[in-house]
């Protein structure tokens, strides 16, 4: 196992937890230092992260510069400092063989095997690399872009247009009715898994508007009070998941037949196959079972 994961308490809408910025300080430009840097190296076009067969930070490759990694990198971007040491995002060209004692592993599968804040930083690195690859030229005039000096952005030297990393906000909602939770099965869910109602926000919408629209579109019911639960960056490829808990107001479940195949109300002791702990969906469902599991 490459990382150990610290036990996390139950999720709560009232409690905030230590996060990525307790260990990580973002920055655009590296300061001179003799300390080896941590490298979040991803294999081109795969989202697979290079890790050694060790635990904690020792699983990350450490080197003063990219030339010491033992293979050619296509690009690298400075991220800031992690536990006081510089850290970088880098992309290895397709076909790169991992060094002995290490491997390129799918980031999505690593959530339960690495500390949560490191997983989020790895996700940040992946998103910034993807942005660097897909924002090479200006969308308005076609000129080559250059990195901005003061922001995480690229600027067009010809027309001055700024290009920031893409971020796609999406809502995900637990809908409660008489102590039960609404869970839905989508056609692409594996192993007959059921999850929460979710969807991307559209231009001109508030997040609450999005919650109500997605719920009506997918299962045909109206909502009452909507409460914020928490959020999670989701680097597959560039989402920000914003979680909510909503109260049922009216209507009968009517699935759209496209996004959702089946949906129903479930009690805490009769849950179907639910998402793994990698997702905020599971955090919300776990919160629900803890809050309502002991209620008659």
Question: For the residues of 157-184, what is the DSSP string, one character each?
Answer: TTT--EEPPP-EEEEEEEEEETTEEEEE
Q: In which band, very low, low, confident or very high, does the pLDDT at 10 lie, cut at 50, 70 and 90?
A: very low
Q: Which two tokens stand for residue 286?
A: 């776990």
Q: Give 259: exposed, middle or buried? Use CB within 10 Å, 0-12, 13-18, 19+.
A: middle
Taking the C-alpha atoms of residue 161 and residue 138, their distance in angstroms, rounded to an integer, is: 7
pLDDT reading at 97 higher than 90: yes
Q: In which band, very low, low, confident or very high, does the pLDDT at 56 lie, cut at 50, 70 and 90?
A: confident
Task: Confirm if 197 and 271 have CB atoms less than 8 A apart.
Answer: no
Say what the pLDDT of residue 116 is: 82
Q: Which two tokens stand for residue 51?
A: 């890790």
Q: In which band, very low, low, confident or very high, does the pLDDT at 167 lie, cut at 50, 70 and 90?
A: very high
Q: In which band, very low, low, confident or very high, does the pLDDT at 14 lie, cut at 50, 70 and 90?
A: very low
Each domain of the chain, given as residue ranges in start order, spans: 20-134, 136-164, 168-292
The pTM of the full predicted model, rounded to 2 decimals, is 0.86
Taking the C-alpha atoms of residue 28 and residue 269, their distance in angstroms, rounded to an integer, is: 49
32 DSSP 8-state letter: P
Average pLDDT, rounded, for the chain: 91
Q: Give 202: exposed, middle or buried? Use CB within 10 Å, 0-12, 13-18, 19+.
A: exposed
For range 86-94, the mean pLDDT: 96
Q: In which band, very low, low, confident or very high, does the pLDDT at 91 lie, cut at 50, 70 and 90?
A: very high
Q: Tens digits of per-residue pLDDT, 224-242? A: 999 999 999 999 889 999 9
Q: Which two tokens stand for residue 74?
A: 């296509």
Give the least confident one: 83-92, 160-169, 286-295: 286-295
- 168-292 has which fold? Nucleoside Triphosphate Pyrophosphohydrolase (3.90.79)
Say what the pLDDT of residue 229 is: 97
Query: 259 Cβ partners below 8 Å, 6+ apart?
Result: 186, 199, 217, 218
Q: Would 20-134 and 168-292 be classified into the same CATH topology?
A: yes
pLDDT reading at 109 higher than 70: yes
Say what the pLDDT of residue 17 is: 59
Q: Give the range with max mean pLDDT: 19-28, 39-48, 113-122.
A: 39-48
Q: Which two tokens stand for residue 161?
A: 């247009």
In CATH, what number does 20-134 get?
3.90.79
pLDDT reading at 123 higher than 60: yes
Q: Which two tokens stand for residue 141?
A: 């005039």
Say what the pLDDT of residue 243 is: 98
Taking the C-alpha atoms of residue 107 and residue 49, their distance in angstroms, rounded to an integer, is: 6
For range 157-181, the mean pLDDT: 97
Q: In which band, very low, low, confident or very high, does the pLDDT at 127 lie, cut at 50, 70 and 90?
A: very high
Say what the pLDDT of residue 152 is: 96
pLDDT reading at 169 higher than 70: yes
For range 136-165, the mean pLDDT: 97
Taking the C-alpha atoms of residue 35 and residue 85, their distance in angstroms, rounded to an integer, is: 6
Task: Determine the Cα angle at 201 with ends 219 and 198, to 5°.
Answer: 35
* 3-state SS, one letter per residue, for 202-271: CCCCCHHHHHHHHHHHHHCCEEEEEEEEEEEEECCCCEEEEEEEEEEEECCCCCCCCCCCEEEEECHHHC
Q: Which two tokens stand for residue 123?
A: 């996700």
């Amino acid at each position: 196992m490459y990382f150990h994961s610290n036990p996390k308490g139950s999720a709560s809408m009232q409690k905030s937890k230590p996060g990525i910025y307790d260990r990580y300080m973002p920055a655009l430009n590296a300061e001179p230092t003799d300390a080896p840097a941590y490298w979040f190296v991803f294999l081109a076009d795969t989202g697979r992260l290079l890790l050694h067969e060790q635990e904690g930070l020792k699983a990350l490759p450490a080197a003063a510069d990219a030339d010491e990694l033992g293979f050619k990198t296509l690009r690298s971007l400075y991220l800031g400092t992690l536990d006081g040491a510089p850290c970088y995002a880098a992309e290895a060209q397709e076909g790169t063989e991992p060094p002995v004692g290490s491997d390129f592993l799918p980031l999505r599968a690593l959530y339960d095997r690495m500390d949560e804040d490191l997983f989020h930083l790895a996700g940040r690195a992946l998103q910034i690399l993807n942005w660097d690859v897909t924002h090479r030229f200006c969308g308005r005039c076609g000129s080559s872009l250059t990195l901005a000096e003061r922001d995480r952005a690229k600027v067009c030297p010809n027309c001055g247009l700024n290009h920031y990393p893409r971020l796609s906000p999406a809502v995900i909602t637990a809908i409660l009715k008489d102590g039960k939770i609404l869970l839905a099965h989508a056609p692409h869910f594996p192993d007959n898994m059921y999850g929460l109602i979710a969807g991307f926000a559209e231009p001109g919408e508030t997040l609450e508007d999005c919650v109500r629209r997605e719920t009506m579109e997918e299962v045909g019911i109206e909502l009452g009070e909507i409460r914020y639960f928490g959020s999670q960056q989701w680097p597959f490829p560039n989402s920000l998941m914003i979680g909510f808990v909503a109260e049922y107001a009216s209507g009968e479940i009517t699935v759209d037949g496209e996004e959702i195949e089946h949906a129903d109300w479930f009690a805490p002791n009769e849950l179907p196959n639910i998402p793994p702990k990698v997702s905020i969906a599971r955090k919300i469902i776990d919160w629900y079972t803890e809050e309502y599991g002991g209620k008659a």
